[in-house]
Structure 1
Amino acid sequence: MRPVPAGRSPERLSGVWAELRDAPVKEPLVLLPDMMCDARLFAPQIAAFSRDTAVMVAPITGGERIEEISSDLLSVLPAKFALAGAGMGGAIAMELLRRAPDRITRIALIATTPLAETPQEAAAREPQMIAAKTGRLGEILRERLKAAGIGPGAGRMPALNMALSMGADLGAEIFVRQSRAMQRRRDQQTVLQRCAIPALVLCGAHDTVTPVKRHVSMADFLPAAELVVIDAAGHLPSLETPEETTEALADWLKRPGAARR
């Protein structure tokens, strides 16, 4: 694991777009959004990478188990692809890595965890699902975002507003379905230990759902991981700090490939 400081100079950030133009990525990039999010979670990154790279945002709304969602995705994803997942999307990315390691050329895990849900965490989802089914989805989404930890910077309110909009558009049925899938997710630590492809582990310093220490541990499991902690971000770094997140992903996409152990 090679830790990377979160601070990025203005000169470095301004050069991100030029670097992307100079070094197009060969493999398609598949993005998996977080729970109750859609392609808008990655809008800044899609705008940057789609100039030179085939970018696909895969929906994660189709099942009540991570395994079911992953199986459905494998039937439509490219033969070989770079994979980045945020939150619940990261959990699905790890399941895809378990099922089809030879199809994934590199992996980025953002604001996520390889751990299974504890009984206490699973139980805490039950009243949220009941509330969502009885017309209180907006209230639940606001409570979850408050608990998730969002950075105090300029990107805070736009990120919160976008997250609420995405959640409202997806609706209560998908909230319940995704909650069930997260309750039942498996531990993927062994999968990460076997993974030797270029890996990025990215998180925000203010994330309280998947805090920095969990990402440090996750990066330690990955033989070829780079850890990036963004000081100004929380649980939604792709929206809160889009330039820093895009730069970290660009660096990851340009890293040489590695042989799988």
Structure 2
Amino acid sequence: MSPYLAYEDKGPETPSASLVSVPSPVPLVLVHGHPFDRTMWSPQTEAFSAARRVVAPDLRGYGASPVVPGITLLSDFARDIEALLDDLKVETCVLAGLSMGGQIVMECYDRFPGRIRGLVLADTFPAAETAEGKQARGAMADRLLREGMRGYADEVLEKMVAPYADAEVKAHVHRMMTAAPPEGAAAALRGRAERPDYRDLLTRVTVPALVVVGADDAYTPVSDAQAMHAALPDSTLCVIDGAAHMPNLERPEEFNEALGAFLARVDG
């Protein structure tokens, strides 16, 4: 059974009766990465909820959602999102994810493609984990359970965002990481180590896609984004200068410009 997810659900006021016949913009659903929460999407929620419904959940084990210890597979996250869409009566949407969130978005497309009108894959990659990567994720999960999140957060902050990022952005990212429950973060690391390979799936995507990456991303470099762009039948690639792994926070104006143009295309 899926846990009840905490979420933000924002949108414009209900249109007047005379405007009901006007087609509504496609809802936007935002899936955060590890080890963050829904507030990582604050610049996008604020920018796009004036004109369309925007839903941003806290994934299980993160933010205000319940912690489920052990192992959380990407399929578990995808089932949670599908259940949330059912609860909120979101029939179709543009589904956007960053990093682990992008991999969850790929899993969602594999599970319920008919509900997805467009994909946004930001600073992510589709390949399965390597043997070395599985060991590293398992060791990190053990460490987080043993030590908590602070040391890890201190170490990776300037890879999550660029060293030259705005101080407020750095503080926000560090705050999200240190607030993440170690049990939830560890469960996600163990599940992510077991993820399938989504590269073939990308070649079969039948909806438009937007691939975004920070030019200075060390975790998922531009070459990963270029490979996804090449694999997807109908995609746009946007490389954002002056950003690392979280361009939606580091360069929100540039990120929102690319996302806005993509949403307008899907609406059209």
**Unmatched segments (≥5 aa) in structure 1:** 1-23
Opposite residue 43 of structure 2, the aligned amino acid is P
Instruction: Report the Cα offset of residue 161 of structure 1.
Output: 1.6
Instruction: Report the Cα offset of residue 256 of structure 1.
Output: 4.5
Q: What is the CA–CA distance in structure 2 between the aligned matches of 1:186 and 1:241, rounded to whole Å?
A: 31
Q: What is the CA–CA distance in structure 2 between the aligned matches of 1:149 and 1:134, rounded to whole Å?
A: 22
Match of residue 134, structure 1, among 134, 146, 151: 146
Is 1:150–1:156's contact at 8 Å kept on the other side of the alignment? Answer: no
- Aligned-residue RMSD, C-alpha: 1.8
Residue of structure 1 in register with 2:77 after alignment: 69
Residue of structure 2 in register with 1:57 after alignment: 56
Q: What is the CA–CA distance in structure 2 between the aligned matches of 1:56 and 1:173, rounded to whole Å?
A: 25
Normalising by structure 1, report the TM-score: 0.84
Q: What is the CA–CA distance in structure 2 between the aligned matches of 1:239 and 1:151, rounded to whole Å?
A: 11
Is 1:61–1:177's contact at 8 Å kept on the other side of the alignment? Answer: no
Q: What is the CA–CA distance in structure 2 between the aligned matches of 1:152 and 1:141, rounded to whole Å?
A: 14
155-164 vs 211-220, which moves further: 155-164
Structure 1 consecutive aligned stretches of length 4 or more whose deviation exceeds 3 Å:
none
Residue of structure 2 in register with 1:15 after alignment: none
Opposite residue 244 of structure 2, the aligned amino acid is G
Residues 78-99 of structure 1, C-alpha deviations (whole Å, 9 max, x = no match) = 2111110001110000000011
Residues 181-235 of structure 1, C-alpha deviations (whole Å, 9 max, x = no match) = 2111111111111113111000001101100000000111111100000110100
Residue of structure 1 in register with 2:155 after alignment: 143
Instruction: Report the Cα offset of residue 72 of structure 1.
Output: 2.1
Residues 26-72 of structure 1, C-alpha deviations (whole Å, 9 max, x = no match) = 11100000111112111111111011110001232256100111112
Q: What is the CA–CA distance in structure 2 between the aligned matches of 1:216 and 1:111, rounded to whole Å?
A: 11
Is 2:95–2:119's contact at 8 Å kept on the other side of the alignment? Answer: yes
Is 1:32–1:58's contact at 8 Å kept on the other side of the alignment? Answer: yes
Q: What is the CA–CA distance in structure 2 between the aligned matches of 1:129 and 1:218, rounded to whole Å?
A: 28
Aligned residue pairs: how many?
233
Q: What is the CA–CA distance in structure 2 between the aligned matches of 1:106 and 1:227, rounded to whole Å?
A: 14
Is 2:26–2:266's contact at 8 Å kept on the other side of the alignment? Answer: no
When residues 162 and 117 of structure 1 are mapped into structure 2, their CA distance, relative to the original with a 3 A threshold, is same
Is 1:106–1:257's contact at 8 Å kept on the other side of the alignment? Answer: no
Tell whether 2:187 aligns with 1:177. Answer: yes
Tell whether 2:195 aligns with 1:196. Answer: no
177-186 vs 95-104, which moves further: 177-186
Opposite residue 173 of structure 2, the aligned amino acid is A
Q: What is the CA–CA distance in structure 1 between the aligned matches of 2:195 and 2:167, rounded to whole Å?
A: 31
Q: Percent identity?
A: 33
Residue of structure 2 in register with 1:46 after alignment: 45
Q: What is the CA–CA distance in structure 2 between the aligned matches of 1:149 and 1:168, rounded to whole Å?
A: 13
Instruction: Report the Cα offset of residue 123 of structure 1.
Output: 0.9
162-171 vs 219-228, which moves further: 162-171
